[in-house]
Amino acid sequence: MTEAINFATATFMQSAPTLHQCPTDTGAEVAFAGRSNAGKSSAINTLTRQSKLARTSKTPGRTQLINFFSLGPGRRLVDLPGYGFAKVSKAVKSDWDKHLAEYLQQRQSLKGLVLLMDIRHPLQEYDWQMIRWAQAGHLPLHILLTKADKLNHGPASNELLKVRRQLADAGIDHVSVQLFSALKKQGLSELEAFMNQWLEQSL
- 202: pLDDT confidence band, cut at 50, 70 and 90? low
- pLDDT class for 95, splitting at 50, 70, 90? confident
Considering the entire predicted model, what is its pTM? 0.92
Tell me if 53 sits within 8 A of 10, measured CB to CB. yes
The full 3-state SS of 120-189, as one line of letters, equals CCCCCHHHHHHHHHHHHCCCCEEEEEECHHHCCHHHHHHHHHHHHHHHHHCCCCCEEEEECECCCCECHH
Q: Which amino acid makes up residue 170?
A: A
- The top-scoring range by mean pLDDT among 12-21, 26-35, 76-85 is 26-35
All structural domains of the chain = 7-199 (3.40.50.300)
